[in-house]
Amino acid sequence: QQPVQSPQAVILREGEDAVINCSSSKALYSVHWYRQKHGEAPVFLMILLKGGEQKGHEKISASFNEKKQQSSLYLTASQLSYSGTYFCGTGDSNDYKLSFGAGTTVTVRA
Amino acid sequence: SQTIHQWPATLVQPVGSPLSLECTVEGTSNPNLYWYRQAAGRGLQLLFYSVGIGQISSEVPQNLSASRPQDRQFILSSKKLLLSDSGFYLCAWKRFRGEKLLFGSGTQLSVL
**Chain A residues whose beta carbon lies within 8 Å of the beta carbon of residue B105:** 40-41
B43 contacts A100? CB cut-off 8 A: yes
pLDDT in tens, B65-110: 999 999 999 999 999 999 999 999 999 999 988 899 999 999 999 9
Q: Identify the pLDDT of residue A58.
A: 73
Q: Identify the pLDDT of residue A41.
A: 95
pLDDT in tens, A26-72: 888 999 999 999 999 999 999 999 876 666 767 899 999 988 999 99
Report the residue count for chain B.
Answer: 112
Give how far the C-alpha of residue B72 lies from the chain's centroid of Cα atoms, to the nearest Å. 13
| A–B CB contacts, 8 A cutoff, strictly below | 58
Q: Identify the pLDDT of residue A95.
A: 85
Average pLDDT over residues A4-10: 97
Q: Identify the pLDDT of residue B60.
A: 81
Average pLDDT, chain A: 92
Average pLDDT over residues B34-38: 96
Quick check: helix, strand or coil at residue B77? strand
Q: Between A81 and A92, name the one with better pLDDT.
A: A81
A contact test, residue of B97, B102, B109 with most A CBs within 10 A = B97
Whether residue A18 has pLDDT greater than 80: yes
**Chain B residues whose beta carbon lies within 8 Å of the beta carbon of residue A47:** 98-100
Whether residue A76 has pLDDT greater than 70: yes
**Chain A residues whose beta carbon lies within 8 Å of the beta carbon of residue B99:** 47
A40 contacts B46? CB cut-off 8 A: no
> Torsions phi, psi of A101, nearest 5?
-75, 175
Q: Identify the pLDDT of residue B61.
A: 64
Q: Which CA distances in Å does B47 have to A14, A62, B56? A: 37, 27, 10
| Secondary structure string (H, E, C) spanning chain A | CCCEEECCEEEEECCCCEEEEEECCCCCCEEEEEEECCCCCCEEEEEEECCCCEEEECCEEEEEECCCCEEEEEECCCCHHHCEEEEEEEECCCCCCEEECCCEEEEEEC
Q: Please tell me if residue B14 touches chain A, with a CB cutoff of 8 Å.
A: no
Average pLDDT over residues B11-17: 97
Dist CA A17 CA A101 (whole Å): 21
Average pLDDT over residues A63-92: 94
B105 contacts A99? CB cut-off 8 A: no
Average pLDDT, chain B: 93
Q: Please tell me if residue B103 touches chain A, with a CB cutoff of 8 Å.
A: yes
Average pLDDT over residues B54-70: 90
Dist CA B2 CA B27 (whole Å): 4
Q: Which of B42, B46, B105 is nearest residue A98 as measured by Cβ atoms?
A: B46
